Amino acid sequence: MGTFCSVIKFENLQELKRLCHWGPIIALGVIAICSTMAMIDSVLWYWPLHTTGGSVNFIMLINWTVMILYNYFNAMFVGPGFVPLGWKPENSQDTVYLQYCKVCQAYKAPRSHHCRKCNRCVMKMDHHCPWINNCCGFQNHASFTLFLLLAPLGCIHAAFIFVMTMYTQLYNRLSFGWSTVKIDMSAARRDPVPIIPFGLAAFAATLFALGLALGTTIAVGMLFFIQMKIILGNKTSIESWIEEKAKDRIQYHQLDKAFVFPYDMGSRWKNFKQVFTWSGVPEGDGLEWPIKEGCHPYSLTIEQLKQKADKRDRSVRYKVIEDYNGACCPLNKGIKTFFTSPCTEEPRIQLQKGEFILATRGLRYWLYGDKILDDYFREGVSRIRGWFPRNCVEKCPCDAEADQAPADEKKNR
């Protein structure tokens, strides 16, 4: 009853706006096509009212659809859970270990990160998923992962029905000649005549649904294995990335100590229970977390602060030499730039000749960084960050010389 009331409430129905996005529209469209075609084809292949097997098959189809949609909407509308606005730790001395979010006017709790799409700090943020048009985090991580498990299983069942339907419906329509094979797509030559006629349109729709089902099985199945891998380590996608950067930072500075991830409970089962519970409600409050023995309570946030400082030291300043209008796939910047545009929802930033950019990471033909703003434009704007084509900028002379110096020293040795 409580779940039903929460579904009706939908935070004053504002959450329904999440459906008006290309991600949920495509995802629900795929679910609707595969489920509808599977039910129609199951009637053609295995009539549910005549045999026990047919009834079980049809009930299982309905069961897959209901469970997939339940976990999908749960992940979308329950949401990840957000850090309360104005939050700060009980011990004021702990604020030195935490980052402050100017947008939320609060400190970022351990394992939380600010999402530019949701415009809030998300508790135990994993990533922002365009398919549910929401973040995956503390409260909906289990529902999201179950959706990733159930969707491929349901698609495998549907794909089997599609294959068996096409086989049984085409079996009596095939005529073999000495050098040809002909298919008669008129009414089936069998008794009794099927309730739903299987013509050319039905064959094409079944074939299309089979392609969707197989594609979904492969793509979503891979995402499920990736999620399970990080869950069994009690990590998130962002924390896995932070851990990799920590190893890179230690190697770059040639430090002796190794980074120890503080939230690994020591066993996969204990890590698993941090996300999946019988009640469906994750353990804890999303703000404080149990840590491994011997680790500092804020060791991950301390590492983030070190990486942030290190990124400033290692970032490169570029000068804009060519205007860029912020297009996702610019045609006027070259074929390679057009076809290698980053597959991400992260924004592109407009550039004007003479501006300066601080690049923090990049690809072969694209860079990611912050635009260096004048004081006049800085009021009310924390930063302008995003992707831009590499061929629109050039390194500033001071940074180019700094990069050349270590190479010259190495050559002299």
- Mark 127-162 as b/e (b = at least 16 C-beta within 10 Å): bbbbbbbbbbbbbbbbbbbbbbbbbbbbbebbbebb
For 290-314, write each residue's pLDDT tens digit. Answer: 999 888 889 999 898 888 888 777 7
- Type of residue numbered 89: P
DSSP string, 67-80: HHHHHHHHHHHH-S
Q: What is the pTM of this model?
A: 0.80
In DSSP terms, 317 is beta-bridged to 358
Model confidence band, residue 5 (pLDDT cutoffs 50, 70, 90): low
Q: Reduce the DSSP state of residue 142 to 3 states and report it.
A: helix
Res 176: pLDDT: 46
Q: What's the N-to-C CA distance of the chain in angstroms? A: 75
Active site amino acids: 129
Contacts of 83 (CB under 8 A, 6+ apart): 104, 106, 108, 109, 112, 120, 121, 122, 123, 286, 287
d(CA 365, CA 349): 15
* Residue 94, C-beta contacts closer than 8 angstroms, at least 6 positions apart: 297, 298
Tell me what the pLDDT averaged over the chain comes to: 84
Long-range Cβ pairs for the range 369-378 (8 Å, 24+): 369/315, 369/318, 372/317
pLDDT in tens, 211-265: 999 999 999 999 999 999 999 999 999 999 899 888 888 887 888 888 899 999 9
Contact of 235 with 274, CB cutoff 8 Å: no
Q: In sequence order, which ranges of 48-196 are alpha helices (DSSP H)?
A: 52-78, 141-171
pLDDT at 26 over 70: yes
Residue 250: HSE in the Cβ half-sphere, 13 Å Cα cutoff: 14
The size of the chain, in residues, is 413
Give the separation between CA 130 and CA 146, rounded to whole angstroms.
17
| CA 88 – CA 222 distance, rounded (Å) | 38
- Res. 407: pLDDT tops 70: no
Mention every residue, 6+ apart, whose C-beta is less than 8 A from residue 48.
42, 54, 55, 57, 58, 59
Using CA atoms, how far apart are residues 70 and 62, in angstroms rounded to an integer?
12
pLDDT in tens, 127-159: 999 999 999 999 999 999 999 999 999 999 999
- Is the pLDDT at 163 greater than 90? The verdict is yes
Are 303 and 323 contacting, i.e. CB atoms less than 8 angstroms apart? no
Looking at per-residue pLDDT, the higher value among 260 and 399 belongs to: 260
Task: Give the Å distances, CA to CA, from 178 to 172, 183, 282.
Answer: 18, 15, 66
The 10s digit of each residue's pLDDT in 86-131 is 999 999 899 999 999 989 999 999 999 999 889 999 999 999 999 9
Could you tell me the pLDDT band of residue 382, with boundaries at 50, 70 and 90? low
Which pLDDT tens digit goes with each residue over 188-222? 444 444 555 677 888 899 999 999 999 999 999 99
Model pLDDT, residue 36 = 95
CB distance 105 to 114 below 8 Å: no
- The answer to whether residue 16 scores a pLDDT higher than 90 is no
- Region 44-63: mean pLDDT is 88
Q: Is 175 in contact with 182 (CB distance < 8 Å)?
A: yes
Residue 86's pLDDT is: 93
Going along the chain from its start, the domains and CATH numbers come out as 13-80+139-176+194-233 (no CATH), 237-310 (no CATH), 315-395 (2.30.30.40)
Res 57: pLDDT: 92
Which tops the pLDDT comparison, 409 or 268? 268
133 three-state secondary structure: coil
- pLDDT at position 412 over 80: no
| Least confident window among 113-117, 326-330, 354-358, 398-402 | 398-402
Residue 161 has pLDDT above 60, yes or no: yes
What's the average model confidence in pLDDT over 334-363?
Answer: 88
**312-325: per-residue pLDDT in tens?**
777 788 999 999 99
